[in-house]
Structure 1
Amino acid sequence: MIRTLYIDINNELKTCESPYEMTSEPRLLWVDMSEPTMHENLLLSQFFHFHPLSIEDAVSVRQRPKYKEYDDYLFYVFHAIDLKTMKPEEIDVFINDILVVTYHKEHSEEVDKVWNMMINKKDNSKASTSEIMFLTLDAIVDNYFPFVYELEDKVFSFKDRHSVDISTEVLIEETFDLREDLLLIRRTVLPMRDLVYRLLEGRIMPLSKKQKIFLHHINDHLIKQVEMIESSREMTADIRDNYISLNSFKMNNIMKILTIYSVIFMPLTLLAGIYGMNFDVMPELHWKYGCLGVWVVMLVITFGMIVYFRQKNWF
């Protein structure tokens, strides 16, 4: 689907489906290509005459957040997050002084939000392509917060798991799933933060004072999100290590108890084995009190070892 918004030299805002349908020369032109067909993709080359490499990046290959500079325009790759599938969605932006083209293969709520803002804008005299791009970038970054907050809430919920009858194996599995989600959002937010930082430093395009203030706002949000993500990753690592340590501690206690029982029964097993041999001539074999004597010896050994282990604080 293609939709076109343009502002003419009289600062009158108009909309149409295709840029071919414009009725006047635009001072500012925004073309949004959402879920475009193969035929609609031809607009990038036949109408706008973009460089084939930037068209390839937008149409064919999923890219990390980045920018490229061409002769008469800049090409940006932004990543939004789909809160339903929790997967990154690529939004490509072609921009120069009078033209901005947003290209995305999935429907974008962020672009819709900015589109409605421009439609309802009362004063179009100061509208610019950079404003559209920055508003889109701000909407994308703001939509990271629900995902980041949700993951942070999941991390904090682990502190209540001790009171729930749930196995350590399940907890460890949930922790690794949570770390996988954190890694996914981290792979999106970090490159976006680097891109915004380079924008803020003026290494890509010259910025006015107002634009720098706006980018500082976006950059602050990204810094906060990165800090929350890193904090959550550290907490999940601590949770994982704690549960592994707890499991090892329980296993060591079990092994210690079993070892103590084994050590206690070893001499008793030895005595039982000796007097269980089928020989006719053995000491005390035909003694009247032989069985009682063996029982007494075995009980003395048992209680003696228990007292010794207790004195050593082994259990």
Structure 2
Amino acid sequence: MIRTLYMNEQNELHRCNSPEEIQTEIKWMWVDFESATSEEMRLLRTYFNFHPISIEDATSVNQRPKFKEYDYYLFFVFQAIDLKSMKPEEIDVFINNDYIVTFHKENAEEVDKAWRNLQNSTLKAKHSTHDIMYSILDATVDNYFPFVYELEEKVFSFEDRHSVNISTEELIEETFDLREDLLMIRRTVNPMKDLVYRVLEGRLVNLSKKQRILLHHINDHLVRQVEMIESSREMTADIRDNYISLNSFKMNNIMKILTIYSVIFMPLTLIVGIYGMNFDIMPELHWNFGYLAVWLVMIFITIGMIIYFKKKHWF
């Protein structure tokens, strides 16, 4: 699907399907490709004459956020996050002063929001193609916050899980799942932060005062998101280490108790083994008080070892 907005010389905003339908002089136009067919994608090559490499980057998948300068336009790759699946989705932007072309394979709420804002704005005539792009970028970055907040809330909720009847194994598994989600969103936010920084500090893009203020605002949001993600990752690492340490502590206690039981029964087993031998000449076997004496010796050894272990604070 293709949709087009364009500003004519009279500062009037109009809409049509394909840019080929425009029959008048224009100041700029915005062409949005969503789930474009092969025939529609042909316009990238024939109508706009974009470089084949940039077209390949746009039509392929899983491109990292970046921007690149070509002869008469700039090419940007943004990464949005799907509101349902939490999967990254690519938004590609071709831009110069005369047009902005957005290309995405799925519906992009960020592009739709910028589209609606432009149509509803009372200052349409003051908008430029770069203003539109930064509006899309701002909406893209703002949409990261719900996911970052949700993951941070999950991290904080672990503090309340101690009173819940749940096994350590389940908590460890949930922690690793949470770290996987944090890693996924980190792979999106960090490159976007680098992209915005490069635009702010680079010389390829001439920024107006208004655009620079907006980019600083976007950059501040990205810095905050990165800090929240890193803080959550550190907390999950601490939670994981704490539960592993707790599990090791429990296992050590169990092993210590079993070892103490084993040590106590070792001399008793020796005594029983000795008097269980089938020799004919064993004087103690014919002694009237032999059975009682063996019991007393074993009880004395058991009590003595328990007292010794207590004094050593082994349990």
TM over 0.5: yes
Aligned residue in 2 for 1:177: 177
Distance 1:265 1:211 in 2: 80
The structural deviation recorded for 1:83 is 2.0
**Separation of aligned partners in 2, 1:91 and 1:280:** 94
**1:8 to 2:18 alignment:** no
Identity %: 72
1-side partners of 2:207 and 2:273: how far apart? Answer: 92
Give me the TM-score of the superposition, normalised by structure 2.
0.99
Residue matched to 1:29: 29
Q: CA deviation at 1:38?
A: 1.2
1:115 partnered with 2:115: yes
Alignment partner of 1:267 is 2:267: yes
- Output the CA distance in 1 between the equivalents of 2:241 and 2:174: 13
Name the amino acid aligned to 1:81: I
Number of aligned residues: 315
Q: Deviations over 1:132-176 (max 9, x none)?
A: 000000000000000000000000010011101111111111100
Give the corresponding residue for 1:165.
165
Per-residue Cα deviation, 1:216-262 (whole angstroms, up to 9, x for no partner):
00000000000000000000000000000000000000000000000
Shift of 1:62: 2.6
What is the match of residue 126 of structure 2?
126
User: Deviation of residue 206 (structure 1)?
Assistant: 1.4
User: Are the counterparts in 2 of residues 198 and 204 from structure 1 also a CA contact under 8 Å?
Assistant: no
Which secondary structure state, in structure 2, belongs to the residue aligned with residue 288 of structure 1?
coil
Residue 200 (structure 1) shift: 1.1
RMSD of aligned Cα (Å): 0.8
Code of the residue aligned with 2:33 in structure 1: it is M
CA displacement 1:259-314 (0-9 Å, x = unmatched) = 00000000000000000011110131100000000000000000000011111111
Following the alignment from structure 2 to structure 1, what is the Cα–Cα distance between the partners of residues 170 and 227?
A: 27
Paired letter, 1:142: D
**Match of 1:227?**
227
CA deviation vs aligned residue, 1:85-142 (integer Å, no higher than 9, x gap): 1100000000001110000001000100000011111222211000000000000000
* Partners of 1:123 and 1:69 in 2: CA distance: 29
> How many Å separate the matches in 1 of 2:230 and 2:189?
11
Q: Distance in 1 between matches of 2:141 and 2:37?
A: 27
Please report how far the alpha carbon of residue 28 of structure 1 lies from its aligned counterpart in structure 2 after TM superposition.
Answer: 1.0
Shift of 1:21: 1.3
Partner residue, 2:100? 100
Aligned-partner Cα distance in 2 for 1:148–1:199:
24
Deviates further, 157-166 or 243-252: 157-166
After superposing the two structures, state which structure 1 stretch, 297-306 or 117-126, moved more: 117-126
Matched position secondary structure for 2:205? coil
> What is the CA–CA distance in structure 2 between the aligned matches of 1:68 and 1:148, rounded to whole Å?
28
Q: Which ranges in structure 2 are unaligned for 5 or more consecutive residues?
A: none
Larger mean Cα displacement after TM superposition, 53-62 or 67-76:
53-62
> Quick check: 2:61–2:90 contact (8 Å CA) kept in 1?
no
TM-score of the superposition, structure 1-length normalised?
0.99
After TM superposition, the structure 1 stretch with the greater mean CA deviation from structure 2, 179-188 or 23-32, is 23-32
Which ranges in structure 1 are unaligned for 5 or more consecutive residues?
Answer: none
